[in-house]
Amino acid sequence: MTGTATARATGMSQSKLSKIENGMLLPSVTDVERLVAELSATRETRIELVELARQLHAEAETRRVVLHRGAHRHQQTVARIEARATTSRFFQNAGVPALLQSEDYLRVVFSAMPPHEQDTAIATLRTRRARLDDQGKRFVFLLSEGALRWRMGNADLMCDQIDHLVQIMRRPNVQLGVVPWTAETGMVALHGFQVYDERVVTLSVLTGNATITDPHDVREYLALFGRLERLAVRGEELEELLEGISRDHRKLG
């Protein structure tokens, strides 16, 4: 059969078939089933190639890192992941996580976006925040002390943000810990990240937001989160630390 005839028989375009032939496109399982049927492959060959296609797609789906552009699209993706998760873990070393941001802090974070995208992203984030009221879900937040000293605005904004944290940390399904700058970490945390149950990791980079689903990579992030968690202060010690950071912001103000 010619390429044209094969494409017509399988319902594909010639360009798609050409990409499959030249190794530029991984065919779907359905594509392979149609090809082996139209090309009269033996039963053994059909079984082998269809199973190989299934394995390749399973591996590709597991190991890929998906980069999303646009804050609104990222908020929607994370909202779907959070809706399914029982335990959500967050680490930030250069700012306050979105779910913990005060309204003024949030506006500063989104201020660089076009107004129409800003409003949509904020609306989606507020929907996500409503899940903090779900007592069937657990939220664990870890911040570096530097994240709270990173001045996103004036002293009033930063002090209000810290007061907002104190209120949220009193929720029964929310745990907040801060790694003080005095802690001898013995490790480098290159960036902030979020882990949902033990299935998905999301993180932000300059040009977009990445979603990681490879089980090995997810375990690496869980292990890092566990090491950071052991360095964090909580309870009265945390409240004293937050009061000290707030006083320093007022002095600078």
pLDDT tens figures, 69-92? 665 566 677 778 888 899 999 999
Whole-prediction pTM: 0.72
pLDDT tens figures, 204-226? 877 778 888 889 999 999 999 99
- Could you tell me the pLDDT band of residue 57, with boundaries at 50, 70 and 90? confident
Average pLDDT over residues 229-246: 97
Q: How many residues does the chain have?
A: 253
Pick from 174, 220, 233: nearest CA to 193: 220
Instruction: Find the range with the poorest average confidence among 92-101, 105-114, 182-191, 234-243.
Output: 105-114
Place of tokens 């907040």: 176
pLDDT of residue 142: 98
pLDDT of residue 33: 94
pLDDT of residue 61: 54
Other beta carbons within 10 Å of 181: 11
- Distances in whole angstroms, Cα of residue 54 to Cα of each of 27, 145, 183: 10, 47, 48
* DSSP output for 112-136: TS-HHHHHHHHHHHHHHHGGGG-TT
65-252 belongs to which homologous superfamily? Endonuclease Chain A (3.30.870.10)
pLDDT of residue 113: 78
pLDDT of residue 78: 79
Alpha-carbon distance 55 to 36, whole Å? 17
Question: Can you give the residue ranges of every domain in the chain?
Answer: 3-63, 65-252
